[in-house]
Amino acid sequence: MKITKKMLILRKKINKINKSIIILLNKRNLISEKIIKEKININYPIKDTKREKKIFEKIINYSKKYNLKKKYLIKIFKIIIKNSRKIQKKIEKKKK
């Protein structure tokens, strides 16, 4: 099988998008670290069910707007939120 020039160009675009996603996830993690520090200051719980509900409502709306499968976006964001909680719990334990 031969890879075409067009396919190589498209793969480069995918690689660039993948890098952007990773950079954005890192930025999200850094913000999550700042959020837990604020939560600790005001004695706020790590898990915020109301906030998570709003996040998923927005995700469902985005899935419709951008014609993406809601099921997969929800799975992805559950993983992202779970990771944020782990980061926050780790920082919270260090503060105690």
- In angstroms, the Cα distances linking 37 to 5, 47, 85, 86 are 49, 14, 13, 14
pTM for the model: 0.86
**Residue bearing tokens 């067009």:** 6
What pLDDT score does 64 carry? 96
What pLDDT score does 94 carry? 85
What pLDDT score does 79 carry? 97
Domains of the chain, earliest start first: 5-95 (1.20.59.10)
- Report angle CA 72, 76, 82 to the nearest 5 degrees: 145
- In angstroms, the Cα distances linking 38 to 41, 47, 64, 73, 74 are 5, 14, 33, 28, 26
Under-50 pLDDT residues of the chain: none
What pLDDT score does 50 carry? 96
What pLDDT score does 34 carry? 95
